[in-house]
Amino acid sequence: MEFQDGAVDAQVNDPHDAPAPVYEVWRTTAADPAFSEWLRSASEPDWTAVVTHPFAAAITTGEADMRRYLVQDFQFVDAFTALLGAAVAGADRFESRVPFGRFLGQIVTDTERSYFHRALDTLGVDADDVTSPELEPVTVRFQALMDEARLSQEYPVILAVLCLAEWIYLGWASRAAEPSPEEFLYREWIDLHSGPDFEAWVGFLRGELDRLGPSLGEAGQARVLGFFREAARLERGFFDMAQG
């Protein structure tokens, strides 16, 4: 793998990973043979650790200390937005570019950006820490993974990172009890990652992987899984970091 100067080795295909079953073999006995379900199930135990993480649970009850988390996540979102642009560019057909463009324009650069500005202001984060805070190691690694996916210009690899990040957030945010916390800091962050529109967005990302994954061949499938699993590992590390 090649890396930009100063980039951190994103360590896809971590030597500590349990060997995953080959997709073509796994699908013959799977209850749900979808390619995205193969990726998800091969990302355990990290998947479940993220959607049941104590920090995520504390968001849903309005008890989390959001400061460090949101300062670091605003930097995550910068690289994530660039990755969405790579998906617009890398998708193999017009109708697939559209949901990325819509999500970019209507959610990330509008609703979510507004949330971050108000949240960081409410938390009293000063201007330098909004634009260029000291990065936590897990943030650096997550940015490196997203940059590597973006620079690969490989649509299935880009999809793997985007899908993991969105689907796993739907996982914890959907577990939020009603009524959600009154404070906007928690309520809007939960609402941004749950509900029918966000479910449809995750359904689209999964559908793209389900459409393209089965014909990638074994090596291509293993490469996509490497990015998906590394993203799951980093999501877990990100909540651990937020927890302190």
- Verify binding: residue 238, ligand HMH, rule CB under 6 A: yes
State the number of binding residues for ligand HMH (CB under 6 A): 9
- 218 three-state secondary structure: helix
Instruction: Report the distance separating Cα 204 and Cα 13, nearest Å.
Output: 26
Q: Is 235 a catalytic residue?
A: yes
- Verify binding: residue 235, ligand HMH, rule CB under 6 A: yes
- Verify binding: residue 167, ligand HMH, rule CB under 6 A: no
Which positions ≥6 away from 221 have C-beta within 8 Å? 22, 23, 35, 213
- Verify binding: residue 46, ligand HMH, rule CB under 6 A: no
Handedness of CA 83, 232, 186, 203 (dihedral sign): positive
Q: Which stretch binds ligand HMH (CB under 6 A): 5-13, 129-137, 162-170, 198-206?
A: 162-170
Residue 178 annotated as part of some ligand binding site: no
Cβ contacts of 107-111, under 8 Å, gap ≥ 24:
107/192, 108/77, 108/80, 108/81, 108/84, 109/81, 111/192
Vertex 122, ends 119 and 124: CA angle to 5°? 110
- Give min distance, CB of 61 to ligand HMH, in A: 19
Residue 240 annotated as part of some ligand binding site: no
Instruction: Report the distance separating Cα 37 and Cα 209, nearest Å.
Output: 10
Question: Catalytic one among 136, 188, 208, 235?
Answer: 235
Which of the residues 58 through 117 are near ligand HMH (CB under 6 A)? 73, 76-77, 80
- Verify binding: residue 169, ligand HMH, rule CB under 6 A: yes
Residue 230 annotated as part of some ligand binding site: no
Catalytic residue positions? Answer: 235
Binding site for ligand HMH (CB under 6 A): 73, 76-77, 80, 165-166, 169, 235, 238
**Residues of each annotated binding site for substrate:** 73, 112, 166
